[in-house]
Amino acid sequence: MEKKSEDYDVVIIGGGAAGLTAGIYCARARLNTLIIEKSLLGGLATYTSEIENYPGFPDRETGPNIMKQFEKQAKRMGVKIKLTDVKTVRFGIDGHHVETFRNIFHAKSVIIATGGKPRLTKAKNEEKYLYDKGISFCATCDAAQYTDKTVMVIGSGDAAIEEGMFLTKFANKVVVSVLHNEGIMDANQIAQEEALANPKMEFKWNTLVDSFEGDGHLDKVVLKNLKTGELEEVSVDGCFLFIGYIPNTEILKGMIDLNKLGHIKTNDRMETNVSGVFAAGDVRDKELRQVATCVGDGAIAGVNAEKFISDMETFEHKILQKDKVGLIYIYSAIDAIGREILLRMQKIEEEYKDKVKLNVIDAYKGESLCRMLGDACDNKGFCKKFGQVNLPSVVYTKNGRIVEVSSNLTKDTVVNKLNSLLSTTLS
């Protein structure tokens, strides 16, 4: 089957808090923006019973309600949305390609906001009881079916303790398996205090899951005491795992820099190591994974994607202009020698009148243009990274193609090179 091709300015993979925010910023900058989401718009936060710490919702709003507002706003801004799974991506200096089962989407910039998926305990029989067989990852979705029953929660972080307390509104008893010594949890202090005071919550300290047991449906979790090695069978009607998330980066392996745990490495501008490809939200290597930080990431990624596209257009049409021999001068505006040489370059351009076009890039302000030059130079085999070239430097172009990078900036050298470029036809 031939795949249908569509062009966008920006394609965002993942429609959670980070992706929807990036979409709002891109669409508001009048970019033709597509979000591709494989399951539920709103992402992980839609599985959260209550979100107490996202500003602007003082009355303990639910995750689904907050995320519905994100979705409405993105749609109102004109973001296009496709509900399908991204299978592969290809990044190149001639544009990026995002493939689903039926389509190939071509984009000037891609924002990866694919979040993560729940970590499993790797205890015996776990695979047998996942989802509708008794092991769940979403209290909001599944709590009601455990009304007046007993459930176990695995973990002691914010998600485990807060969702565990939510479960006590339905279940008679919530048994919490905690790795640490008695009284020690990873959750925030307020959640810990509330949980310890909750009569429906019972804690199994120093334990991890040894196996899941049942006859078709989970009815027992066997816990192992880490100190004594003793096994304890706990009868339950269901079990909720809240032991962290693994980043959804399988489709990116070998294409983009990841850390040891598979999170995408970015800088403060959410740029990855690939030009025009940004990452935002839980999927990236960062300190705090919360809706508020995902929103911040999404905003930064959106703004920088817009800047990247605008720089790319400047780069292609102005910097690598085709009509004249090009002299691109890259310098640091705070360097006195660099400023002096700038005057020399301007005089040279004047001498050549309409035959040579000078473009000036301040390396500090024009970092993204420098990066594009670096990529283009790399392609021509001149230098791997533009950052490796001394400042100030010049790049000579002809017919919109890079010919040479040089830090020899004497008037004679520059004039000789320009003369030679003007007198030869480039193959």
Ligand X SMILES: Cc1cc2nc3c(=O)[nH]c(=O)nc-3n(C[C@H](O)[C@H](O)[C@H](O)COP(=O)(O)OP(=O)(O)OC[C@H]3O[C@@H](n4cnc5c(N)ncnc54)[C@H](O)[C@@H]3O)c2cc1C
Point out which residues bind ligand X (CB under 6 A).
Answer: 13-19, 36-40, 43-45, 47-48, 51-54, 85-86, 113-116, 159, 163, 242, 248, 251, 281-283, 289-292, 294
In angstroms, what is the minimal distance from the CB of 193 to ligand X?
A: 17
What 3-state class would DSSP assign to 153?
Answer: strand
- If 0-12 CB within 10 Å is exposed, 13-18 middle and 19+ buried, where does residue 361 land? buried
Instruction: Report the half-sphere exposure of 289 (CA within 13 A, side-chain side).
Output: 21
Of residues 47 and 212, the one with the C-beta less far from ligand X = 47
Give the chain's largest Cα–Cα span: 88
- For the bound state, the minimum distance from the C-beta of residue 287 to ligand X, rounded and expressed in Å, comes to 12
Smallest gap from residue 12 Cβ to ligand X (A): 9
The pair of three-digit structure tokens given for residue 366, joined into one six-digit string: 């024009």
Q: Is 58 helix (H, G, I), strand (E, B) or coil?
A: coil
Residue whose CB is less far from ligand X, 37 or 362: 37
d(C-alpha 20, C-alpha 405), whole Å: 41
CA-to-CA distance for 82 and 33, rounded, in angstroms?
A: 11
Q: In 338-399, at which residue ranges do the beta strands (DSSP E only) sit?
A: 356-362, 393-398
CB of 213 to ligand X, least distance (A): 25
In the complex, the smallest distance separating the C-beta of residue 379 from ligand X, rounded to whole angstroms, is 29
Nearer to ligand X, 87 or 339 (CB): 87
Query: Rounded distance, CA 267 to CA 249, Å?
Result: 17
Which is nearer to ligand X, 13 or 421 (by Cβ)? Answer: 13
Using the minimum distance from each CB to ligand X, give the nearer residue, 141 or 337.
Answer: 141
CA-CA distances (angstroms) from residue 106 to 83, 95, 110? 17, 7, 9
Closer to ligand X at the Cβ: 116 or 366?
116
Q: Minimum CB separation from ligand X for residue 111, in Å? A: 11
Rounded Cα distance between 369 and 198, Å, is 57
Tell the residue number behind the tokens 């816990």, with chain if given.
223
